[in-house]
Amino acid sequence: MFILGFGLSLAVPYMALYAVNRAGMTPLQLGTFLTVSAISAVGVATLLARWSDRLPNRKPIVLATLAAGAAAYALISVTPHFSGLLAIGALLLSLGAAAFPQVFSFARASLQDVPADLADRAMTVLRSVFSLSWVVGPGLGAAILVGADYHAVFLSASLCFALAALPLLRVPGRRPQPNTGTTPVADRPRPGNRSAIAWGALAFVLYGMSMQMGMAMFPLFITKTLGGSGSEVGFLVGLCALLEIPVMLALVTLRRLPGVPVLIAAGMGLFVAHFALIVVADSLPLLVAAQVIRAVVLAILAGLGMTYFQTLMPGRFSAATTMFANTSSVGGMLSGITSGAVAQTFGYRSVFVVCAALTLTAFVVMTANNRRQALAPAA
């Protein structure tokens, strides 16, 4: 997970810069590229989730996603034009994007005999390891970009995807517990939870849309609007990842905390403040403050998002994990074309105004959903 995260942290912060500066994309073309990749990622993730629950060993699927990611970034490094990048995004990058949820599912299947509380803590620690990789990755990516070029950045990311497969070869595959047919009735989602799942998914889609709009346009906002450098982008992204880790570990160790739904709603509310700070930012200190808030938000929602859906969908771990992953992918699908159109028409700063509005809506939806759940009669 650390090596996978390291590869993503090298490439993702500089994908938009590469698309605009090297491939010559307009903001609208960039949005189209991101949207097509996200649409493909949703379809791929859903299909792989079904297959992984039926196969006796999900390891081949995990290794296939890592191989696809390695191939995608290697090809991106030598494809500086819109049509080629669009094809790579639809065919390979989407499959590589499924590596993250597939590795998590693979890890969770390996822990199915461990007490549930301990397994949940182990998964949170695993997510912290992923965040740790983002502490140095963006900064190193900036150094590679300055010392070499985009070609070296994406080749390094490709190498990381290939190396991430090596430790998994030593992990024995486990047949996942069946999700359908043999699941005890008591463990199946209650009919009353269907509405809660739908509204919760909507809130996470809005959150994911704002998060990915902001992530894609943040480097361009720093360099194009504020006149900053790639090194500043790397510093700010790495700072956020560094601060995520103690917050995630606090969520694991602290006992007197509100429930998961309350924490998630609070995180969405804080995200509004993050985007508001970026909107008014004209210097590094305000951007640093915004990244501090972002770190807290990501630690809460990335660390507890899967737990939230698993609680609403007991006995259906793979379905819950896929639901959580797909809300991010659907958010990315909607964010690409939206952020591109807004940036091209009104400028990069205006994108973060839209992000704030989307996150505020997500906060309202999640708060109302939590209230309905609290008032619902117990089964």
Do 350 and 342 contact (CB within 8 A), yes or no?
yes
The predicted pLDDT at position 229 comes to 84
Token representation of residue 63: 């290794």
Is 14:22 a contact under the CB 8 Å cutoff? no
Neighbours of 131 (CB within 10 A): 25
Distance CA 145, CA 135 (A): 17
Q: Which residues contact 225 (CB under 8 A, 6 or more apart)?
A: 347, 348, 349
Per-residue pLDDT at 311: 79
Short-list 31, 35, 29, CA closest to 83: 29
Give me the residue spans of the domains in the chain. 2-172+189-375
In contact, 366 and 264? CB cutoff 8 Å: yes
pLDDT, tens only, 188-235? 445 447 888 899 999 999 999 999 899 888 988 998 888 888 788 888
Tally: H helices and E strands in the chain: 14, 0
Write out residues in the chain with pLDDT < 70, as ranges. 52-56, 116-117, 120, 173-192, 252, 254-255, 303, 315-319, 376-379
The Cα–Cα gap between 56 and 190 comes to 28
pTM for this prediction: 0.70
User: Given this model, what pLDDT does residue 186 score?
Assistant: 35
CATH class for the region spanning 2-172+189-375 = mainly alpha
